Structure 1
């Protein structure tokens, strides 16, 4: 006796064209309706394939298939059960695979002079139905060409071309910004608020001796010079409201003077003391015994660079400042305290200190640049030769900044450094030789070197001649930019003529 049997149920194939990502998850399932699936034969495009028995089903997982149409066929042979003859049963499904991703070519981005400049991203894709830049749709022409006008210079922006089958091709783009020549002087928040000191700086600007000012945002005491809207600056008591940031920037920009905001990152006694008092002890660098790390900088001066909250606080200040109009952000004290590493504990640190410091710069780069500012970091002069003494690995840090600003003050070098007998009395050779070394360290990273030079006396009296000698040393090392440091914010303008 025979009975009509239904065809085998073949399932597991998604609707439409199957792309590469979907193909890797395809599980073709042939249900028998309770019969033993073991005798079943499977063919793919007429060639036998082997499946796996799972309960009353045969399961086949194709992992790699060529583009085009394919046919999966299953046959369960006739069988006799208790005198009843079950006829053979078959099932087929036809499906189409397109696992080839679209092509994507992006033209070289034009160079810009500021991260606030708009930039046109152009290129062509073949086979894509959709194109996005950082998740935002871009209109595709019929020939696959595209042009997107971004309001900012991209940093690690992701361009993704997607076809109808869901196949993707992605590329990361970063624009290049040319760091302008900088001839700058350091100005504290209190100095800017002081009519006489501010007047002296503005006079240098009017005379064309400088084209930039480095204005403190957060200083060595952890004090924020203007009225910041960052919540932690308010809660910790860091806000001082010493000067009006928008007015200061506006005044300097009207004079065609660029403004670089300096943030003293991890030397921050204001935040460290507040955090310790409020139970955030892991925000503070400690002695191995668990007490705050004390040093020549004070009994509780350094916050913990490994702590996410501490890092984010500095990034928030940097981003806010960039949005206010600062042309550049420079981190200072982006390091561990100098001294014996065995006497320090960094709660939560999961890597070496110098790696953590460099990663902080990587975390800062995108938000700061997206807000429109250059990113830089002040580093010790000795970092080029002794990076682990303060956790400043120059090549590693240079990967994430527009420029590094080494403090090559002649008074800070030991006798004999770079074969200079007495660096403090020989400003020209120590600056020239040390900066040549720094330039080697950053080669291939895209970062520039713009040094901090000394305009103060420490052991040797410094005047116009000594400052000018440092500027000449930098120039002869191939560097035409510099920052001058005077803690009193009084400068030897004769060196700049």
Structure 2
């Protein structure tokens, strides 16, 4: 079991940078459009019937926001540092009401120190030095807490356990940004991440938000070259694309079932373009397959991350149109589900100056309001704001 073998060494502070994935999305879209596979042919993961069990619940008291979640992303550094008070004051002064706080960040570290006998102690950083104090502040200020857990992008676990990752000539494979992924085919990796999620639920988080629930971008271009275990997905029905989609869907279903004992909602972050294709062939994301197994679906619909979509040539310059047109597509998909999740997209509150000159603009009050308004006109009233540095625009009307 992983609990007996993982002794990952802390490898420094992770800095989550906003990088353009436009080309990766465009390539994946092109491939997907050429495929004739049907989503209906994808196998569905069926969990065994389980006996009723005790529901674990934290002593913390948080009510789901009456007008829905309107939240911001908060790094471990911010949650455990001086910026936390600034962000709390910002929420108290606006209609924002929730924080998505890193608990397992992008390198694979925990952002707080668990007890020394915890199997996760060696992968922990002390960014949030006093989680109890943090929760006291959240509770006192009626701020709804959501735990962000990065799943399959995990350099720490990959380096410690290459057998749980993808290797190239015996070495752990990394993408162009030096990031390693662990293998979504392997149930040991599922258990590892869900056990961390259970600890977050016990701390008092009301929702577990899983991010990077996917294979690496462009995996369809290297899936035959890398060395990795396909676990129970070896052979069987379907091709490599179907197996990847099955594995991702199955992880989400497994996590949702396991966390049902903790009285928390489960949400998943997903690429925005996944709603515009039948499924994303390289990364294994199926919008409907994931949505059918979560309480909340959070598409990352940052205008800067799109190529020419919805007839909009330079999306970053048209945040209102982009969010509105995306919402129409997503609403049509969710209408296909009998009991679909809450839609709560991630919105852009950062400036994408890495785009070519003329393709980007400075984002602030107007651009944030435009995105919210575009969603609202299509009936989507919940949202999350992303800025990697946690420096959010001032003076925004969050109910435009």
TM tier relative to shorter chain: 0.7 to 0.9
1:484 positional shift? 0.2
Q: CA deviation at 1:285?
A: 2.2
> What stretches of structure 2 of length at least 5 have no aligned partner?
1-49, 58-63, 234-241, 354-360
Question: Deviation at 1:441?
Answer: 2.0
- 1:431 shift after superposition: 0.9
The size of the alignment, in residue pairs, is 318
Q: Which residue of 1 aligns with 2:166?
A: 285
In structure 2, C-alpha distance between the alignment counterparts of 1:253 and 1:373, rounded to whole Å? 16
Question: Is structure 2 residue 51 aligned with structure 1 residue 189?
Answer: no
Matched, 1:348 2:230: yes
Q: Given the alignment of the two structures, is residue 297 of structure 1 paired with residue 188 of structure 2, yes or no?
A: no
Whether 1:452 aligns to 2:339 is: no
Say which of 388, 391, 397 aligns to 1:490.
Answer: 391
Query: Residues 202-217 of structure 1 correspond to what in structure 2 (within 5 A)?
Result: 202-217=88-103
Question: Aligned pair in 2 of structure 1 residues 377, 180: CA closer, same or farther (>3 Å)?
Answer: farther
Q: 2:55, 2:262 within 8 Å by CA — same for their partners in 1?
A: no
Q: CA deviation at 1:342?
A: 3.9
* Residue in structure 2 matched with residue 14 of structure 1 by the alignment: none
Contact residue 358 and residue 396 of structure 1 kept, 8 A? yes
Shift of 1:231: 4.3
Indicate the residue corresponding to 2:124 in structure 1: 239
The TM-score, its normalising length taken from structure 1, stands at: 0.60
Q: 1:404 aligned to 2:297?
A: yes
Greater helix content? 2
State which of 266, 283, 290 in structure 2 corresponds to 1:375: 266
Separation in structure 2 between the aligned mates of residue 399 and residue 369 of structure 1, nearest angstrom: 15
Q: Please tell me whether the aligned partners of residues 324 and 374 of structure 2 are also in contact (alpha carbons under 8 angstroms).
A: yes
Of 22, 35, 51, the residue aligned with 1:134 is 51
Q: Distance in 2 between matches of 1:205 and 1:496?
A: 12
Residue-by-residue CA offset, 1:153-190 (whole Å, 9 max, x unaligned): 9xxxxxxxxxxxxxxxxxxxxxxx99960110000000
SS of equivalent residue, structure 2 residue 125: coil
- 1:325: Cα distance to partner? 0.6
Which residue of structure 1 aligns with residue 313 of structure 2? 421
Q: Which residue of 1 aligns with 2:84?
A: 198
Partner in structure 2 of residue 394 of structure 1: 287
Contact 1:381 1:407 (C-alpha < 8 Å) held by counterparts: yes
Of the three residues 150, 156, 172, the one matched with 1:264 is 150
Please state whether the residue corresponding to 2:113 is helix, strand or coil: coil
**Match of residue 219 from structure 1:** 105
Query: What value does the CA root-mean-square deviation take over the aligned residues?
Result: 2.3
SS in 1 for 2:78: helix
For structure 1, the residue ranges without an aligned partner over 5 or more in a row are: 1-132, 137-149, 154-176
Compare relative contact order (CA 8 Å, sep 6+) and give the higher one, 1 or 2. 2
Q: Deviations over 1:87-114 (max 9, x none)?
A: xxxxxxxxxxxxxxxxxxxxxxxxxxxx
Q: Who wins on radius of gyration, i.e. which is larger?
A: 1
Following TM superposition, by how much is the alpha carbon of 1:347 offset from its aligned partner in structure 2, in angstroms?
1.1
* Aligned CA distance change for structure 1 residues 340 and 264 (closer, same or farther; 3 Å): closer
User: How many angstroms does 1:439 deviate by?
Assistant: 2.2
